[in-house]
Amino acid sequence: ALMITDECINCDVCEPECPNGAISQGPEIYVIDPSLCTECVGHYNEPQCQQVCPVDCIPLDPERKETQEELQQKYLRISATA
Ligand code: SF4
Ligand code: SF4
């Protein structure tokens, strides 16, 4: 999963781009729900939020590294319940 750092300027550009609805406005900055972020696997070749963020504050979450396989599984789980 990706994460949003405190460099976030609350511009709201990323939220509508997420195909999994993983991004929302938190108490101070935008946040990513790691249980919903597939790094865009299943939808796009590139993480869409990273593509649009004007301040480049959406890195890979080092605490939540996942393989392509795991991301694909998560995508399948999410689409089954959606
Ligand atoms: Fe959503 Fe994709 Fe960004 Fe994850 S990488 S938060 S799935 S847009
Ligand atoms: Fe924050 Fe970047 Fe999303 Fe804008 S696009 S709300 S700066 S994370």
Q: What is the interface pTM, i.e. ipTM, of the complex?
A: 0.98
Please say whether the beta carbons of 75 and 42 come within 8 A: yes
Domain count, the chain: 1
For residue 79, the CA-to-ligand 2 centroid distance in Å is 25
- Specify the residue with its C-alpha closest to ligand 2, atom 5: 53
Q: What stretch of H or E contains 76?
A: helix 68-81
Residue 40 lies inside a defined structural domain of this protein: yes
* Nearest atom of ligand 2 to the alpha carbon of 53: 5
Please name every residue paired with 30 in a beta bridge, in sequence order, or none if there are none. 25
For residue 22, what is the domain's CATH number? Answer: 3.30.70.20
**Per-residue pLDDT reduced to its tens digit, 26-64:** 999 999 999 999 999 999 999 999 999 999 999 999 999
Mutational pocket test of ligand 2: of 58, 60, 61, the residue with most ligand atoms within 8 Å of the beta carbon: 58
Sign of the alpha-carbon dihedral angle for 76, 46, 65, 54: negative
The structure tokens listed for 32 are 């990513």
